[in-house]
């Protein structure tokens, strides 16, 4: 897995936050769910869904799906900047304990923002993650999955994702609603 740390480290960290949660589109899950996860810096985090009662994009990926993360996160960051919560979860259930320190060191060098490390696969399992691909989830301020897109980035998929984000954010209180940085955006090609 190759990470680029020189360009937009915030979105890459968030994206590879870049490995996000998976769930089924239209899920009616509304109860709060919490996980205790460690990041690549050794800090413990309580990941609660919904996240601070705001619209959130979760990006989940395992080793095979990691190569698909960057264009999703870059495009989201280019459009919404810091106005949209992007959470990355690395799905790592099969990594043996002796190798975990090496994985954390790699992520520390590649990603400056916290990346949640799902060593036990509990988050991935909770959301029905399918191995080998990136999954991008839009979770509203009530914890309901509004959209699930998986696999490689495409302009059509990104357009659909933006429509869901914009529609869902229009229903939220102004303080929790993401605003696009610009209206004109050309997603990266991949």
Burial class (CB in 10 A: 0-12, 13-18, 19+), 42: exposed
Q: How many residues does the chain have?
A: 190
**pLDDT reported for residue 20:** 32
Tokens of 76: 């989201």
The Cα 14–Cα 24 span in angstroms is: 21
Show pLDDT as tens, one digit a residue, over the chain (190 residues): 444 444 444 434 343 333 333 223 333 344 578 999 999 999 999 988 887 778 999 999 999 999 999 999 999 999 999 889 999 999 999 999 999 999 999 999 998 889 999 999 998 988 789 999 999 999 888 888 999 999 999 999 999 999 999 998 887 766 555 666 544 334 444 4
Q: Which CATH architecture has domain 13-170?
A: 3-Layer(aba) Sandwich (3.40)
């Amino acid at each position: 897995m190759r990470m680029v740390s020189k360009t937009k480290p915030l979105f890459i960290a968030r994206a590879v936050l870049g490995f996000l949660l998976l769930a089924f589109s239209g899920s009616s899950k509304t109860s709060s769910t919490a996980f205790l996860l460690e990041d690549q810096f050794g800090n413990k985090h309580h990941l609660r869904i919904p996240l601070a009662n705001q619209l959130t994009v979760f990006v989940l990926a395992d080793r095979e799906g990691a190569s698909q993360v960057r264009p999703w996160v870059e495009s989201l960051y280019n459009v919404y900047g810091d106005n949209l919560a992007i959470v990355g979860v690395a799905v790592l259930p099969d990594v043996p304990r002796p190798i975990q320190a090496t994985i954390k060191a790699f992520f520390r060098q590649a990603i400056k923002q916290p990346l949640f490390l799902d060593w036990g696969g509990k988050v991935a399992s909770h959301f029905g993650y399918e191995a080998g691909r990136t999954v991008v989830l839009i979770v509203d301020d009530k914890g309901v999955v509004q959209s699930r897109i998986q696999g490689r980035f495409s302009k059509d998929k990104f357009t659909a994702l933006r429509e869901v984000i914009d529609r869902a954010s229009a229903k939220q209180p102004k303080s929790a609603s993401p605003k696009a940085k610009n209206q004109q955006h050309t997603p990266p090609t991949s």
